[in-house]
Amino acid sequence: MTINVVKIGGNVIDSADALESFIKEFAQLPSPKVLVHGGGKLATAMSKKLGIETHMIDGRRVTDKETLDIVTMVYAGLVNKNIVAKLQREHCNSIGLCGADGNVIPAVRRSPVPIDFGYVGDIDAEQIDVMFIQNLLQKGITPVFCALTHDRAGDILNSNADSVTSAIAIALTRVGEVDLTFCMELPGVMRDTSDMASLISHVDADTYDALKQQGVINKGMIPKIDNAFAAVRQGVRKVIIKKADNLNRDIGTTIQ
C-alpha cells in the first residue's frame, strides 16, 4: 500500500475556507497517509499582536526564545489541534504531533556561525523513528505533524516544514512505497500561470534543466524542486506539486 505524505503551507492554513475544503479532500485520500503543516503567517501575526518583532534572514525565521514560544503555541497548539479536531469530524482518526512526541524527530540545533537563527533544528531522515509512525498507520491513525522538532536536551526547535516533510517521506520508504505531495497555490509548474493548459504534468532531471534555463522554474520554486528530486533520489516514488483542491484529482506536476 502506498503511503501518502502531504504537506500544506500558509495558503491553506491562513484561510478558514481553504482549510475546510482541504480537510474534506484530505479525509477522502486513501490511507495510509501523513499530513505535515506549516503555519508561518499565523505565527507572524501572533508575534505582531504580542509586540514581538519577526526577523527573517533569507526567508527563514530567526527563532529567539520569545519566538520559539509563539511558534510552539501556534504550530503545535492552535493549527495542529484544530486540524486534528476537524479530521475527527470527517471520521479520519488522526493524532497531532511534533518531533518531540515519542522522540520521533530529533534534530540538531543549527550552529550560530555564520548566522545565528536561534532555536532552529536541522534534521536527518535516518534519525526519524519510522516504526513509531508505522505503528500509528497500522492502527489506522493518521499522524499530523507540525514542523517543530527537539534537541533531546529539553528544547523544542523550529524546523523548515518542507525539510520535515521530505525527511518523513524518505524515512517511510524504509517500510513502504511513498508518494509525496506538496500543496501549493498554483496547480503545479506552469508555463503561463493564467493558462491551465500550460500546466507541465511531468518534470524529470532533463526537462528540469531546460525549464530552469527558460525561466519557467525560478526563484522560490528552485529549492522546492531541488528538494523534490533529492527525495526521489532517496527512494520516494514520486513527488507531486498540486493545488490542495486537486488532492484527489490527477492534476498537478509529478517530479520523478
Distance, in Å, from the CA atom of 192 to the CA atom of 189, rounded to the nearest integer, reads: 9
Per-residue burial over 97-123, b = 16 or more CB atoms within 10 Å of its CB, e = otherwise: bbbbbbebbbbebbeeeeeebbbbbbb
Pairing of strands 253-255, 238-243: antiparallel
75 contacts a copy of itself (rule: CB under 8 A): yes
Q: Is 108 in the site for a copy of itself (CB under 8 A)?
A: no
Rounded Cα gap, residues 91 and 79, in angstroms? 19
Write the DSSP string, 206-222.
HHHHHHHHTTSS-TTHH
Is 74 or 255 the residue whose CB approaches a copy of itself more closely? 74
Task: Measure the CA–CA gap between 89 and 67, rounded to whole angstroms.
Answer: 31
Which one among 94, 165, 181, 227 touches a copy of itself, defined by CB under 8 A?
Answer: 94
Residue 153 engages a copy of itself in binding (rule: CB under 8 A): yes
Q: Which amino acid is at 249?
A: R
Measuring CA to CA, which residue among 245, 241, 246 is closest to residue 200?
A: 241
Report the C-alpha gap between 140 and 131 in whole angstroms: 14
Kindly tell me which residue out of 40, 96, 121, 252 binds a copy of itself, with binding defined by CB under 8 A. 96
Among 21, 82, 246, 256, binds a copy of itself (CB under 8 A): 82
- CB of residue 68 to a copy of itself, shortest distance in Å: 10
**In the complex, minimum distance from the CB of residue 99 to a copy of itself, in angstroms, rounded to a whole number:** 9
Q: Which stretch binds a copy of itself (CB under 8 A): 147-155, 182-190, 192-200, 215-223?
A: 147-155
Question: How many positions of this chain bind a copy of itself (CB under 8 A)?
Answer: 40
Among 29, 45, 62, 78, which residue interacts with a copy of itself (rule: CB under 8 A)?
78
Tell me which of 50, 56, 57, 115 binds a copy of itself, using CB under 8 A.
50
Residues that bind a copy of itself (CB under 8 A): 46, 49-50, 69, 72-78, 80-82, 84-86, 88-89, 93-98, 100-103, 135, 139, 141, 148, 150-156
